Structure 1
Amino acid sequence: MQPALHREAFLERLQKQKAWDVIVIGGGATGLGVALDAAARGFQTVLFEQHDFGKGTSSRSTKLIHGGVRYLREGDFRLVREALQERGRLLRNAPHLVWPRLFVVPYGQWWERLLYGAGLWLYDRLAGQEQLGTLRRLNPAETHALIPTLRTEGLRGGLAYVDGQFDDARLLVHLAWTAAEQGAVVLNYMPVEALIGTRRRLEGVLVRDAETGEHFELRGRVIINATGAFADAVRRMDNPEASPLLALSQGVHLVLPRRFLPGEAALLVPRTDDGRVLFAIPWHGQVLLGTTDEPVAQAQLEPTPTEDEITYLLTHAGRYLTPAPTRTDIRAVFAGLRPLVRQSRLQNDTAHLSREHVIVVSRRGLVTVTGGKWTTYRRMAEETVDRALQVAGLPHRPSPTAMLRLHGATPRLNPTNPWYLYGTDSALLQALLTARPELNTLLHPRLPYRMVEVVWAARYEMARTVEDVLARRTRALFLDAAAALEAAPAVARQLATELGRDNHWEQAQLQALVQLMPHYLPALTATEA
């Protein structure tokens, strides 16, 4: 096996190595992308994440690797073209985690066919050689055949096109693994408590191991702030008077049973009656419905879906799907924060803010990258490292990541394999299961995951808590929150065995998950859970 993610080995390296070329703060898509890019260029790189990899925005996306059809109406053609190019690279570099998905856009007016058709034609043209399929016009019967639950009243037809889909948290784990294979140290549960330096120059960071309380003081030629929604907080560590760079937006998704979208095609409504975009997408045996776009005042590690957002999604889904989903159909709800770059200090309408990224360098040399979207994480990372090398006075070396296949990549994808998302590691999971057949137990009858994946997550993917396993190594909490809660005691026992924890730790883990549940099933209070 190639080098795995071993927290103890990484901590041992921290004890020995105090000086680094690149220090990255933030373990989401952008941060891990930056760490991978810097390490792949041969620079000594270390990354610190305050919680778990992808705890924030990067595990809470709409699960699409796409150019963004809706950005066309904003006239952001450059962003769309760039994202479509990156979509193609990801399909090649991580074929076990990114796959094509057919989308259907229904229409009821003749002008909608012309308008949407023109937009999707342009979308495919912007993809150039990275185009995934040919735009097709559908008659009403063909449209309904692909989306059997679509309401037929007023339906005149549809348009079919192909885009990309992925599992965000699992891709993030494989990004971390690839960065480690390139020589980077990547550590979760290591909050940065202070930036160290003179009045003129940053020189390092003070970090704390959240598990032991031990502190580490490390020096770095350049420090990169890739903390997403928390970027302004890190900027204020550098300069307490730094003006806000971000306008945060919250996006909420509902997870529904597969019967609401029984086919293999996804549904896209490009403009609801209030001008938003609505997605209904098959995902891991369920249906993902989203998304909202509401401004929020401050960043939180665990954003809370609001009643208005849940009602909005159910109401609008009911206008297109039959039967209309109700609150009792919801398997899970999750919210994520978009770190949008504000265009003015009075910006309130986050729905129309650009999804482009920015790179800002402070007077003392803190390099901040924020904004952007999952699909363009690699491009963001490459540009950030280019800028960081200039700031640090390090030699320029070209980025190899455009052609770098991620850990586990295999062209022989077999979706019938229960562990196909692990790519080449699926054979190792099978070997582990052969050695320990008792690990073949399902976590829950409504979940597709087995106990062997808990062991794997603890041994090779730096899962440190029950939440890590249920939310981001498997997707149990996102697929069926109640089932995840019922599975938690068995997961806690197995994880405690792997990590050498005691019964008190198990009980604390279960209580922490109970406290988390209202964020994923808002109707469920902590007491009821």
Structure 2
Amino acid sequence: MTTVAAPLPTRRKDLLARLAEPHCFDLAVIGGGATGLGVALDAAARGFSVVLVESHDFAKGTSSRATKLVHGGVRYLAQGNIALVREALHERTTLLHNAPHLAQPLPFVMPSYHWWETPFYGAGLLMYDVLAGKAGLGATQFLGRERTLQCLPTVRTEGLKGGVKYWDGQFDDARLALALARTAASHGALLVNYCPARELIHEGGRVAGLVCEDVESGRRFRVRARSVVNATGVWVDDLRQMDGEAIGRPVKPIVAPSQGVHIVVDREFLPADHALMVPKTADGRVLFAVPWLGKLILGTTDSPRQDVVREPEPFREEVDFILQESARFLTRAPRAADIRSIWVGLRPLVKPQDDDGDNTKSLSREHTVLSSRSGLVTVTGGKWTTYRAMAEDVLQKCFTLELLPSRPAGITNNLPLVGAPAQPVTHRISELQGLHSYGSEARFVADLPGNSECLSEGLTEAMVRFAARYEYASTVEDMLARRSRLLFLDARKAIALAPRIAALLQDELGADPQLEAFLTLAQQYLHIPGEQALDFPE
């Protein structure tokens, strides 16, 4: 019988006490999204001393707002970017293997309404299978009309010729980010959320650490490190500018933010265990309808955005686009009144240095790793699926610059994340989760007070206590947006439940759980620009 290690406590006072100790870390990471957490885990697993600071909560930004797909990138195949697809397919398999409780295979069906679509798109997806090789999740199949309707019962029947079925993966992005953080901590890394980097420390023109600040107390910490990695996503240029000003070398921005909007509705609009994929909408974009945690995600958009904000709002035309395109492919089209939640993510697309345009379709989805004269290493771009490969590239950059002594790569290729069960997983991420999402740690959750007290479907008092004690949670938003995904699934229910969550967190932590801030935020997840404000439960 495999022994499961007890979860490590994440008491904030203990984390800050470690941060205050005089110490020079091998590596300091700024940014607690998928990329930064991946870097921290890889470095810690190789035996380096690591500290990571995050200005808000882990995965607060882009990394909790993905389309929930672990994929090789069908659209990149169409663009002829074979290398990117091949890398992503390899990383897809690695991720599914290392976190089977949080990432699983998912079948997709592409319906055909013209005679040429099945052979045309099918040929491309067969190439997808070839590139995946032994890492394939299932064979591409050409479907007739009836089989397509069996897979997608509510797809529009008028003119339906058939379809193509292929396989990719899906995951719970925020909980996977948390698993990365906790796995890094199990290898000795120190990770602190709500602790933004306020300054970079420079000595002799070289970056030598950072100054961070605990947002609760305002206390500042000087953290020394041999190497510093800027993994702040769409905000990397802010830190690069800070670094450039310190050494007298202004920098040119490298990120052009793109906005992606997702709409969540009830599963009745597509009651299936297959996802719907439309390869080319009216304006040439890709549309997904993905079953996830008992609901249906519709999206996504790809719109340039000039400002970079923590909680971006959807543009009205983006919401209209998703609803209108859904109506073209579903027998019953969702309306604005059917929306359970709307969430927006910003993608850090890398722009060519001689390009001042704003066409996000022409910008790179690949990641970029670069260094400044001071030795600050910056990583941006990429996507969730390839976070592990990005981390390896970052460490290789540190080795090349002789910031760290070289150590062999590949240790995270077969490194199970916290909670990864030894036995095969039987639950599906497309369905509502409960203790399943904790994997091998489920029994530790079940042993806590309140395990039989159900707060909402798939959420108990014990889960809230577990989040406060072992998952770095300190606010209502932490709990309902990222430990549980209720805010992303049904904002009305999250609002109704928030006072109960606040009371439990107050009991566990004795600190302000920021209830009012959450109630204000949650309303945005049901706000459609130009629409009258919706009613909320008392």
The TM-score bracket by the shorter chain reads: over 0.9
Structure 2 partner of 1:415: 427
Matches within 5 A, 1:158-169: 158-169=163-174
Structure 1 partner of 2:20: 15
Q: Is the 8 A contact 1:104 1:161 kept in 2?
A: yes
Q: Is the 8 A contact 1:104 1:160 kept in 2?
A: yes
Q: Is the 8 A contact 1:204 1:219 kept in 2?
A: yes
Among residues 440, 445, 452, which one is paired with 1:440 in the alignment? 452
Among residues 495, 498, 521, which one is paired with 1:516 in the alignment? 521
CA distance in 1 between partners of 2:535 and 2:146 (Å): 46
Structure 2 partner of 1:140: 145
Structure 2 partner of 1:53: 58
Matches within 5 A, 1:67-466: 67-198=72-203, 200-240=205-245, 241-343=250-352, 344-399=354-409, 400-410=411-421, 411-415=423-427, 418-432=434-448, 436=449, 438-444=450-456, 447-466=457-476
> 153-162 or 515-524, which moves further after superposition?
515-524
Gaps of 5+ in 2: 1-5
Q: Is the 8 A contact 1:517 1:526 kept in 2?
A: no
Q: Is the 8 A contact 1:360 1:369 kept in 2?
A: yes
* Post-superposition offset of 1:7: 2.8
Structure 1 counterpart of 2:378, one-letter code: T
CA distance in 2 between partners of 1:103 and 1:478 (Å): 22
CA distance in 2 between partners of 1:148 and 1:261 (Å): 7
* Post-superposition offset of 1:347: 2.5
Q: Is the 8 A contact 2:227 2:375 kept in 1?
A: yes
Task: Give the secondary structure class of the aligned counterpart of 1:443.
Answer: strand
* Post-superposition offset of 1:17: 3.6
CA distance in 2 between partners of 1:84 and 1:238 (Å): 35
* Post-superposition offset of 1:526: 8.0
Q: Is the 8 A contact 1:133 1:162 kept in 2?
A: yes
Q: Is the 8 A contact 1:222 1:392 kept in 2?
A: no
TM-score by length of 1: 0.95
Q: Is the 8 A contact 2:108 2:165 kept in 1?
A: yes
Q: Is the 8 A contact 1:18 1:217 kept in 2?
A: no
CA distance in 1 between partners of 2:10 and 2:386 (Å): 24
* Post-superposition offset of 1:352: 3.3
CA distance in 2 between partners of 1:525 and 1:512 (Å): 21
> 285-294 or 103-112, which moves further after superposition?
103-112
CA distance in 2 between partners of 1:356 and 1:215 (Å): 35
CA distance in 2 between partners of 1:515 and 1:145 (Å): 42
Structure 1 partner of 2:3: none
CA distance in 2 between partners of 1:361 and 1:485 (Å): 44
* Superimposed CA distance per residue, residues 258-285 of structure 1 (whole angstroms, 9 cap, x where no aligned partner): 1011011100001111100000010000
* Post-superposition offset of 1:75: 1.3
> 293-302 or 484-493, which moves further after superposition?
293-302
CA distance in 2 between partners of 1:84 and 1:145 (Å): 28
* Post-superposition offset of 1:528: 5.8
Q: Is the 8 A contact 1:139 1:156 kept in 2?
A: yes
Structure 2 counterpart of 1:250, one-letter code: Q
> 283-292 or 448-457, which moves further after superposition?
448-457
Task: Give the secondary structure class of the aligned counterpart of 1:220.
Answer: strand
CA distance in 1 between partners of 2:404 and 2:316 (Å): 50
Q: Is the 8 A contact 1:96 1:413 kept in 2?
A: yes
Identity %: 50
Task: Give the secondary structure class of the aligned counterpart of 1:62.
Answer: coil
Task: Give the secondary structure class of the aligned counterpart of 1:123.
Answer: helix
Structure 2 partner of 1:492: 502
CA distance in 2 between partners of 1:356 and 1:516 (Å): 32
* Superimposed CA distance per residue, residues 229-268 of structure 1 (whole angstroms, 9 cap, x where no aligned partner): 1111111110142101001100000000010110111000
Task: Give the secondary structure class of the aligned counterpart of 2:142.
Answer: strand
* Post-superposition offset of 1:2: 4.2
* Post-superposition offset of 1:224: 0.2
Q: Is the 8 A contact 1:135 1:161 kept in 2?
A: yes
Task: Give the secondary structure class of the aligned counterpart of 2:344.
Answer: strand
Structure 1 counterpart of 2:379, one-letter code: V
CA distance in 2 between partners of 1:167 and 1:527 (Å): 28
* Superimposed CA distance per residue, residues 34-54 of structure 1 (whole angstroms, 9 cap, x where no aligned partner): 000111111110000000000
Q: Is the 8 A contact 1:518 1:525 kept in 2?
A: no
> 268-277 or 514-523, which moves further after superposition?
514-523
* Superimposed CA distance per residue, residues 393-434 of structure 1 (whole angstroms, 9 cap, x where no aligned partner): 4211113111111111113324288311111111111222xx
Q: Is the 8 A contact 1:305 1:519 kept in 2?
A: no
Q: Is the 8 A contact 1:106 1:269 kept in 2?
A: yes
Q: Is the 8 A contact 1:66 1:375 kept in 2?
A: yes
CA distance in 1 between partners of 2:11 and 2:519 (Å): 28
CA distance in 1 between partners of 2:164 and 2:22 (Å): 56
Task: Give the secondary structure class of the aligned counterpart of 2:322.
Answer: helix
CA distance in 2 between partners of 1:180 and 1:7 (Å): 14
CA distance in 2 between partners of 1:122 and 1:37 (Å): 31
Q: Does 1:478 align with 2:450?
A: no
Q: Is the 8 A contact 1:174 1:407 kept in 2?
A: yes
* Post-superposition offset of 1:527: 9.8
* Superimposed CA distance per residue, residues 51-72 of structure 1 (whole angstroms, 9 cap, x where no aligned partner): 0000000000000000011111
CA distance in 2 between partners of 1:180 and 1:222 (Å): 19
Task: Give the secondary structure class of the aligned counterpart of 2:446.
Answer: helix
* Post-superposition offset of 1:513: 1.4
TM-score by length of 2: 0.94
Q: Is the 8 A contact 2:475 2:515 kept in 1?
A: no
Task: Give the secondary structure class of the aligned counterpart of 2:89.
Answer: helix
Question: What is the number of residues matched between the two proteins?
Answer: 518
